[in-house]
Structure 1
Amino acid sequence: MGGEWFEVLRPPYLPVEIRWERAVADGLPADVSHAFGIFDTTLCGVQEAGMSPSDHWWLPERESACDACREAAGVIDDRRPRAMRGEDARVSVARRL
C-alpha cells in the first residue's frame, strides 16, 4: 500500500455515487434500486438470500433509488473526515523521542 512503516493508511475515499453497487436478488422489487451493503443485506436493511452486488453502480440521484439507502449512504459518507478524503490520507504513528 506504500508509505512508511509508521504510517497508517486509510482505504481511499470514494464519493457516494461511485462507492455502492446496485443490489440484485430475486425478492427485490424491480422499480426500486437498493445499494448493496454486506452479507445479503442492502444499506437500508432489506435482506434476501442470495443477494449480490451487480456490475452497475447504485446511483443515489436517480428517482428509483431507495430513500432509506440514500440516507444510510449519506450517514456513512459524513463519517469520513473531510481532511482525510485526499489521496494522501495518512496518519503518522511514529513516536517522537
Structure 2
Amino acid sequence: MKCDVCGRAMRRWSVPPTAQEEKIWSCSWCHAATHVGGEWFEIARPSYLPMEMRWERAAADGLPADVSHAFGIFDMTLCGIQEDDMSPSDCWWLPERENACGACREAALVIDERWPQAMRGEEARVSVARRPGAR
C-alpha cells in the first residue's frame, strides 16, 4: 500500500486483524496510519496531529521509569528501543517535559517535518465509510 501523505510504501502491522477485520498499515517515514476494514470504515485515515497530541508514552518492563519514551509504530519507541512487552500507555508522551527522551523528541520533530503543510488540515486525508448493508 502506498502512503497518501508522502507516497512511500506502507508496512502492515504484524498483529492479527481485530474482530471487525481491521488491518493497520503505517508509513515508516512519516508515520501516517491507514486502517482498512473495521466496523464503520472501509478505509480510515487519521488526520495530522501536532507533536504534543500525537504520541502516547511507551510502557514496557525494560524501560527506565525516570525517562519518558514515545511509543512509535511496530512496537518500538521513536528512538528505536524495542521490548517484547511494549505497548502504548493511556498517557500522552509530552515532548516538552524535562524527563522526555531527547532522541524521541528529535525523531518526533523530524517525523513532524515530513508531513507536508497541505496534508495537515483536518480534511486533508480522505476516509471511506462503509456503505450501509455492505460487508
Given the two structures, how large is their TM-score scaled by the length of structure 2?
Answer: 0.57
Q: CA deviation at 1:10?
A: 5.5
Q: Structure with the greater relative contact order (CA < 8 A, sep ≥ 6): 1 or 2?
A: 1
Q: CA deviation at 1:25?
A: 0.4
1:39 corresponds to which residue? 74
2:58 corresponds to which residue? 23
1:50 corresponds to which residue? 85
**Are the counterparts in 2 of residues 10 and 89 from structure 1 also a CA contact under 8 Å?**
no
- Consecutive unaligned residues of structure 1, counting only runs of 5 or more, are 1-8, 92-97
Q: Which amino acid aligns with 2:65?
A: A
Q: Which amino acid aligns with 1:55?
A: D
* Closer/same/farther in 2, CA of residues 90 and 35 from structure 1, 3 Å limit: closer
* Percentage of pairs with the same residue: 80
Q: Which amino acid aligns with 1:37?
A: G
Q: Among residues 77, 82, 91, which one is paired with 2:112 in the alignment?
A: 77
- Consecutive unaligned residues of structure 2, counting only runs of 5 or more, are 1-43, 127-135
